[in-house]
Amino acid sequence: MFLTVTLNPALDVTYRVPRLRAHASHRVTDVTERPGGKGLNVARVLAALGHPVTVTGLAGGPTGAHVRALLAAESGGVTDALVPVAGNTRRTVAVVDGSTGDTTQLNEAGPEITADEWAAFLDAYAALLKDSGTSTGTSTGSGTGQSAAPVRAVALCGSLPPGVPVDAYAELVRAAHAAGVPVLLDTSGEPLRHGVAAGPDLVKPNADELAQLTGDTEPLRAADDARRRGARAVVASLGADGLLAVTADGTWRAAPPRHVPGNPTGAGDSAVAGLLSGLAEGLDWPARLARAVALSAATVAAPVAGEFDTAVYAETLPRTEITSGRGAARDGA
């Protein structure tokens, strides 16, 4: 199974309005509520691809209880192993402008996490890595929750809530490696800087996050720098231009065949799911990147994060353009 870690999950609330205007009242035409946070989005896509996955992180208060109830109501092979905390889980609000398709996002910071709560999470995380043959949570699908395969990979995703140490992801990377489990890291800022130094097997920043980490705005040079800082492989999101991968096995760029209009929220999370599922299935890097790009494009076409349009995915996957070599990657970056 896969394990995704979302230390700062959220209740994702999406409002749709005919036209978004500043300083005006709006009539909302549609509202959706979903369990949110990058790792939860990754988990739902992995489950849709047929892979069992457990989600862990920190959740608390009435909003946290609502997130867990929504997660339990979803079908599919996602197991809830979120660790309870006293503070109230954050909300994120997305407002979609129906006239343009553009999205305005409002993100709360998250609850204050105490030292005791962080220590309890570390214990739970270690147990998931050590005893992955036995389910530790409640299955959200039709499964019995009796047993699961060993953890094949861990995805560490998203921001840190207040109170969690800035080097939290570095500690989680080291714990996973001590258990013999490969790690993908998808975060930003100081948590990314500390996490990269711990040697994750793969980091997946976007171009801005990669530039902030390295101080270099040219993606290929920045990816090389990130590898020198400790990352074993780097897959950088380049927005509508696709992905750049710099690994010990080679350098590739993967680009979608066309621009897909829609809501980009969660597209990067779907790319993470594509990379992880490709790892589990033994796909080579070009095939993993093609899947990641196709899932990302298909998520832009879907109404909410954590879902993907199967028709767009089927159309995009065989047409995704893969170029190899450092010159090709630089030209496309």
Q: Tell me the catalytic residues.
A: 269
According to the 3-state scheme, what is the secondary structure of the chain?
A: CEEEEECCCEEEEEEEECCCCCCCCCCCCEEEEEEECHHHHHHHHHHHCCCCEEEEEEEEHHHHHHHHHHHHHCCCCEEECCEEECCCCEEEEEEEECCCCCEEEEECCCCCCCHHHHHHHHHHHHHHHHCCCECCCEECCCCCCCECCCCCEEEEECCCCCCCCCCHHHHHHHHHHHCCCCEEEECCHHHHHHHHHCCCCEECCEHHHHHHHHCCCCHHHHHHHHHHCCCCCEEEECHHHCEEEEECCEEEEEECCCCCCCCCCCHHHHHHHHHHHHHHCCCCHHHHHHHHHHHHHHHHCCCCCCCCCHHHHHHHHHHCEEEECHHHHHHHC
Taking alpha carbons only, the member of 79, 95, 121 closest to residue 30 is: 95
Q: Which residues lie closer than 8 Å to 25 by C-beta, 6 or more apart? A: none
